[in-house]
Amino acid sequence: MHVARKLDSIRTLETERGSTAIAYNPGTMTDPLPAVERAMAAFRRRVRGRPLMAYEKCREVLHDMRVVASEVFGGTPEGWAMADGHTATVDRIADSLAEHFGRVATVVSTDSEHVGGIGAFSADKRFVVRQVPPEQLADTAADIYFLSHVTYDTNHDNSDVIRALTRRADDPIVIIDGNQAVGQIDVDVAALGCHVYITSSHKWLGGPHGGGLLYLRSDVVEQWPSPFRAGDPLVPDLPIGRWEPRGGQDFSRVAGIAAAVRAYQVHATSGRPIREQFIQALQRALGDRVHPITASTAEGRVVAFELVGIDVYPVYRELAERGLSIKCIKKPGKRAESGDGCLEVLRVGFPWWTDAEQVDDAVAILTEVVDGVTPASVSASGRRRRWRGRSLGGPPAPATVPEAAPVAAGGDA
């Protein structure tokens, strides 16, 4: 990834490796990167008590956010808007589309969508939704196609399906849920050719919660009705300004999003080596008891896997107790690669700030849990191994937990 020219409002970022905790399923329960928190705090400090300057600074950082988003995720700066999180933003896009159509519109989607995406259409009487396997999408007639760039369950990359739709002569409306793709794999919205691309910033970018990015194709910016009503656009002279949340926002989030994208641009490398390191080590340790799902994009930062003959949920709970936070997906009625009748996978993700040692830690703990806590896996002090958070400055995280640690809640973002 190339490092572009310096943008004044985006603070220089030190390396983020070695931050205190890592979530192997970045999401709603995880903290933004320290550099992001610093950028937000610095923005607030700069504008506190100076309302006029606040708006000025806001426009400045918004400009830089558009520039860095277009450099990293394609398109032009004028196509990128600051947004709320994915769920709130897709709701607004659905509202805009309903107004644009002025009649009941048919939405065709895949059978692996997150409710924080497809729900915007399926819960709205102005749409009729049909869900089909991704390979049938292009052959199913629709007014609107809605799908994830990378699916949240098996981490399948739908780029080819998206391009097949957007290259059709009839130019159907294509809305993309980029929540699992942005910060995980390379994204180029112009190459995808979609009308709308949406992402939250708090997942693979380690950005602020409740904020995100919205990309709109230039014809959409001009022609579709903006879902915003109250207040004046912060940037009235650019058409994309009409598409941005207005007053009452925590505008330091813009600085946080810009910093998160910048950090990714400057520091991230391909997810493939770390992914392969994990798969190989896991297979060495567990042999044919583990079955990685091959649909998961090889370029990505996620390994989804089945545990042959083992219920994944108790494993997930035990991992959570030991500080290893991953994702557990059990979906009845959908066949997994090696199972029958149910998709039952664990999903481990390695955001760009993960290092090789943290991958080894994840494998060691996972192996121990799958094996059951055997005498060999209990340390001399009689305590179970726990994920060791590394820290640059603060006190080190405890290396062990007492045998009778309280049961952690099984929440999953």
Ligand X SMILES: Cc1ncc(COP(=O)(O)O)c(C=O)c1O
Residues of this chain, 197-226, that bind ligand X according to CB under 6 A = 200
Give the interface segment with ligand X, choosing from 109-117, 303-311, 354-362, 367-375 (CB under 6 A). Answer: 109-117
* Footprint (CB under 6 A) of ligand X, residues 152-181: 152, 177, 179-180
What HEC string does 347-391 produce? EEECCCCCCHHHHHHHHHHHHHHHHCCCHHHECCCCCEECCCCCC
- What are the start-end ranges of the E strands in 114-204? 127-132, 144-148, 173-177, 196-200
Write the Ramachandran bin of 206: left for phi over 0, alpha for psi from -120 to 50, otherwise beta: left
| Near ligand X by CB under 6 A: residue from 26, 74, 85, 256 | 85
Residue 24 makes contact with ligand X by CB under 6 A: no
Element (H, E) at 306: strand 302-307
**Which residue type occupies 220?**
V
Could you give the count of Cα atoms lying within 13 Å of 164 in the half-sphere of its Cβ? 13
Q: In whole angstroms, how close is the CB of 122 to ligand X at the nearest point?
A: 13
CA distances for 218 relative to 76, 221, 231, angstroms: 9, 5, 23
Count of chain residues binding ligand X (CB under 6 A): 15
Please say which residue, 63 or 243, places its beta carbon nearer to ligand X.
243
Query: Which tokens go with 144?
Result: 């609107």
Among 109, 110, 148, 325, binds ligand X (CB under 6 A): 148
Least gap, CB of 8 to ligand X (angstroms): 29
**Distance (Å, rounded) from C-alpha 15 to C-alpha 17?**
6
Which residue is closest to ligand X by CB?
A: 116
One residue of 86, 262, 267, 291 binding ligand X per CB under 6 A: 86
Q: What binding mask, one character per residue, do residues 112-141 give for ligand X by CB under 6 A, x or -?
A: --x-xx------------------------
**Contact yes or no for 408/402 (Cβ under 8 A):** no
Nearer to ligand X, 19 or 199 (CB): 199
Q: Residues 42, 11: contact at Cβ < 8 Å?
A: yes
- Binding interface with ligand X (CB under 6 A): 27-28, 85-87, 114, 116-117, 148, 152, 177, 179-180, 200, 413
